[in-house]
A and B are shown apart, each in its own frame.
Chain A
């Protein structure tokens, strides 16, 4: 294949991709040397990084399981990365085979990858789009074709909102999604924080920045992560450290308390108008 003279950052293989770095930290091989270099540097600064991605993935599994039990059958996973082991549709269908899932990512390689892995699956689809443009995401034919936005949808935003700067107004942005979703819809968020180990986390963020990835980490505290659920009623136990959200076994936790709370998570439900909060 001829390489084009110019490629966008997502396709430029000299720049690490967040999705592929994440895959490497989870033990996958869908990654390149440049991604592994960034991951290894991250591990040097933050040895618990593997635990963080593991716990986040475990939370995803528990949250999706919880939502299927709450009756949700439609999922919109934005910032889905490379859909390897334990993806939303696999977890959801283990409990309800009729679940439909649309994966959204702005990394063109991750999207091409997802399309290959999910080829032939009528109940999943993949969209190349940016979280920052709700109208675009929700207006895509793939989204409108597979998901009925008049029915409850679970919007999954795992380890992605912390790539939004304050100027991009995450609360306002999520509000634009919320306003388009039907009552009874859910929001699932996981978000890195520097409430603990501020210095370590700063160095971790520097690592990402130095790697010339376009994405910069913006840590937020518990109140700021809670504010993302404006207009939703938080499911028990509210916004908590990743390991503390309905843990179901040893895999839900790490041995170091910092690793258990380095990522805040929460699940919220959009009430019907006039519906009384619980």
Chain B
């Protein structure tokens, strides 16, 4: 292709020198996938060909193009490498003494270099097109894979929706059903096609309809929470279906919102289905439900029972049953147990009730009371009357009796296991009295209601009598534990009940309408205390007062706060007011307006019970909020890894908005340092000190 070059050593030296210089310059500009020695070798080959092109005029164009193409193929693709190559090749070729004698040398060099540039450009264009096409194909394949994965995922979802016994629906933010599975249709006893297009709240029992509408409104307002509540659905046959209704917000890519609704049928044993079959839920001898099934039903009944009538649990132990088995044999014993099972079911046949066998000779009955349910005494009498009727078992006339522990109308938040423990204890106590005894467990709920009611009534008197006090909790900087503020909290030193904490005081005060004046008093006491510290200790320590959600939205709040500040003369910047996130974020702007006005007046506004939900983040950035407070025992914010990274990211968002982060409920050094790392500024809780008299804070002021 090229004419042989003169085989002179001097010429070769010149060409090697040019190749080395070229290699050096290129390798400083771009990555060439070879060692320096290899690069120099390849470039020397190109230099040889270029020289040949200059020597052999007709080849100049072709050789130049080939070298340009070769450069791109070596991965020299940056414009900078072309400029360098043109420069170094033009000069090098023109300076070569071995080419001096070639006719029209300058023209040939120009021609070769111009062809190099053109070859480079042409090859680069082709390479770029080829690579872009490759990339397009890669994107297509990746996208196709996503589609296939998506189809598989949709198919999985469809299988789950088809075969699950739980109702699954997708609705818009207003609650209108966009799609629903057959199970939901079965639960509400409608034809599957009839469910789509309905309003989900309309399927809910009228008593709970507004609550469910409010749930949807919250999700529509951007709350990212998952709402799960026991609800009653209306069935077309007029019956009620008990379900656990879970609403999960879904944000679509175009910004539209939807809600995925899960209705877990809790009218029957579906709570346990999937894990357990019928046999594992029933006693094989009597075919009564066993303790596990009973417990599950009890849990559900506690949540769903009519609070006006409640439930009752009877725990029975057959008297002297070991005498029957010991004297008459196991087979007779088994027959007696079957008869007892049957008779117990007869006794409660007219009630919504479950009879279960717990142990060898232990039974339990759960009655969901209604207005027509006989009272406990009557039921206990009926049980023993029926059991004591003699019957024939294996040729023997047998009669039995039972000792019974009863828990009547337990509170709806009682745990099933505590309740069964309580029933068992009551039964043991009753057995202490001999056969055919029964005893009633302490009716706690009634007592609690009574106590709360009497407490609220006596609160104003207690306040007057000085039983209500203001205590201070230190708020500390996490970096060095320095005291940065004191939070004023209420405490009621009740002569009989002991100290009632802040939250309970406020709840009681709200019950009685005392809350407005109590808050004003708390504010005034705190402001005066801050001034006292300044006077006595020479240090300004801000005081903090947290208000309830209803106070936060109260029209009177601003007047009350500003009034106290004016009266006491405390600079507004020394008062920090904590408003619950739920109130500040409420659609009704009342609390947000209060926050704005107070912040304009110089009061430091803080948001309490912050959960870093997306809606909260947005709102906090909009409002003149100085800090947010996360309460560890509340809210969904995790207290450490693995959710930690997310928390730190969210806190970064808050801090970027110029809002400080506080954490309440810290109880260990590890916790505090974790939150400090995650971006929290201040902290409070048992780690620093519990609520104390003002002197304790004063001591820390030095």
Residues in A lying within 8 Å of B, measured CB to CB: 1-8, 10-11, 13, 20, 26-32, 50, 53-54, 57-58, 61, 65, 84-87, 90-91, 108-113, 115-117, 165, 167, 248-252, 254-255
Contacts and interface: CB of A to CB of B under 8 A. Distances in A.
B31 A4 contact: no
Contacts of B37: 248-249
A1 B138 CA distance: 13
Contacts of B146: 4, 7-8, 11, 108
B142 A6 contact: no
Given A4-B147, A57-B31, A108-B142, A116 B137 contact: yes
A65 B36 CA distance: 13
Contacts of A65: 35
Given A112-B145, A167-B641, A251 B139 contact: no
Given A248-B37, A251-B39, 12 more contacts: A4-B143, A10-B142, A27-B78, A30-B132, A91-B33, A108-B145, A113-B135, A116-B134, A167-B641, A248-B36, A250-B24, A250-B27
B142 A30 contact: no
Nearest to B125: A29
Contacts of A27: 30-31, 75-78
B36 A251 contact: yes
Nearest to B36: A249
21 contacts: A2-B147, A3-B143, A7-B143, A11-B139, A27-B78, A29-B77, A31-B135, A32-B135, A61-B34, A65-B35, A109-B138, A109-B142, A112-B139, A113-B138, A167-B644, A248-B35, A249-B36, A249-B39, A250-B24, A251-B27, A251-B36
The listed residue with most A CB atoms (<10 A of its CB), out of B35, B36, B77, B135, is: B135
Contacts of B135: 20, 29-32, 109, 113
A112 B138 contact: yes
Contacts of B141: 112, 115-116
Contacts of A110: 138
Contacts of A115: 141
The listed residue with most A CB atoms (<10 A of its CB), out of B33, B127, B144, B253, is: B33
Contacts of B499: none
Contacts of B648: 167
A53 B138 contact: no
Contacts of A11: 139, 142-143, 146
Contacts of A252: 36
B134 A111 contact: no
Given A111-B142, A248-B36, A255 B28 contact: yes
Closest 3 CB pairs of A and B: A249-B36, A86-B33, A251-B27
Contacts of A108: 142, 145-146
Contacts of A31: 135
A116 B78 CA distance: 25
Nearest to A111: B142
A255 B28 CA distance: 8
B32 interface: yes
Contacts of B36: 248-252
B253 A6 contact: yes
Nearest to A62: B35
B211 interface: no
A252 B24 CA distance: 11
B645 interface: yes
A53 B30 CA distance: 9
A84 B33 CA distance: 10
A85 B75 contact: yes
Contact of A26 (B31, B128, B139): B31
Contacts of A109: 135, 138-139, 142
A111 B132 CA distance: 16
A90 B131 CA distance: 19
A3 B253 CA distance: 13
A121 B30 CA distance: 28
Interface string B145-180: 111001000000000000000000000000000000
A101 to B, nearest CB: 15
Interface in B107-145: 127-128, 131-132, 134-135, 137-145
